Amino acid sequence: MDAGAQEKVARRAALRNEYWRTMTNPHNHLRGESGGVFDTGLARFQAMRVSHFEHFKPTGRSFKIGLFTVVIPIFVYAKLMKHERDQREHQYRTGQVAYADRRFKFI
């Protein structure tokens, strides 16, 4: 193993030992701790998620992503639904479908 890998293994071992020492300490309740370990990485991640929109800058790429994943699929689905309902309504009104065979008779 090279020196960098050995340092990484040593760091992980130290963090693991600190975690187990903190989690298995039976006297944590005396200090007002609930037995959990404060994870700084998780705290930074949650803070980043909360403040994401404060630092968001719209770009062409983000506009395209929003357009192609939200706006266009909703519009296409609405057009398909409208077309299908218009066709069904036309069939009902021209007598191509018997009343007994209609869906949604009571609406």
Helix, strand, coil shares of the chain, percent, nearest 5, are 70, 0, 30
Domain ranges of the chain: 1-56, 57-106
pTM for the model stands at: 0.52
- Show pLDDT as tens, one digit a residue, over the chain (107 residues): 788 999 999 999 998 998 888 778 777 766 666 656 777 889 999 999 999 888 889 999 999 999 999 999 999 999 999 999 999 999 999 999 998 888 877 75
Instruction: Identify the pLDDT of residue 29.
Output: 66
Residue 37 DSSP label: -
Cα–Cα distance measured from residue 14 to residue 6, given in angstroms and rounded to the nearest whole number: 12
DSSP H or E segment with residue 68:
none
Which residues are CB-neighbours of 103 under 8 A, at least 6 positions away?
A: 88
Instruction: Identify the pLDDT of residue 104.
Output: 79
3-class secondary structure per residue, 6-25: HHHHHHHHHHHHHHHHHHCC
Instruction: Identify the pLDDT of residue 24.
Output: 80
